Structure 1
């Protein structure tokens, strides 16, 4: 039987519960697509991208969390491997959604920077997990 460390178990439990927010985001997206929440074409595309990234990155983040258990990583490297992709699952969708907020918006605002910070966490988390697995 595979047993998770306490940090991995607690993180996974919190992430699974937080995935409920992706479901509520999906409900919002159906309102946008049906015209019940006004949005420009730019906003619709960013809202779709934010929702898609949230779902996919949560799954990928949980996989990295589990795979970290098979590494010998410690300290900062272990933390980055466990939560790097999960941090991107928050930051990247936030960049899409928050940079598109505002009536009639047709271009992202400065909060688009969250997308790039999230991309940095994504690359760092994937790299650390991959190297950790290859060197274990």
Structure 2
């Protein structure tokens, strides 16, 4: 049986609860795609991308929480390996959603900066975890 540290167990439990939020975002996406919510092409694309990134990154993030427990990483490196992808799961969807908000928006606003920031955090998290797994 896999034994998780208390922080990993609590993090995984909280993250599993966020799936309900992602699920409700799916209902919003159905309204958008069925034309029940007035959106521009940019908004449709960005909302779809935000929803997809949230779902995929949360699942990958849960896996990273588990895999980080199998490393000898400590301190910030362990935190980054375990939760970097989960941080990206907040930053990247937020970049898609917030940068497309506003009636009739046809180009992203300044919140689009969250996308490359999230991509850097994602990369840092997975590389740290990979190195931790390879060196353990």
Q: TM-score, normalised by structure 2?
A: 0.98
Distance of 1:86 and 1:121 partners within structure 2: 9
Q: Does 1:119 align with 2:119?
A: yes
The superposition leaves residues 23-73 of structure 1 with CA deviations (integer Å, 9 ceiling, x where unpaired) of 111111101011111000111000000000000000111111100011000
Q: Which runs of 5+ in 2 are unaligned?
A: none
Alignment of structure 1 residues 1-136 onto 2, 5 Å: 1-136=1-136
Q: TM-score, normalised by structure 1?
A: 0.98
Greater Cα offset, 91-100 or 17-26: 17-26
Once the 2 structures are TM-superposed, how far is the Cα of residue 134 of structure 1 from its aligned partner?
0.2
Which 4+ residue blocks in structure 1 deviate beyond 6 angstroms?
A: none
Distance of 2:113 and 2:12 partners within structure 1: 27
Taking only aligned residues, the RMSD between alpha carbons, in angstroms, comes to: 0.6
Q: Which runs of 5+ in 1 are unaligned?
A: none
Distance of 2:34 and 2:2 partners within structure 1: 45
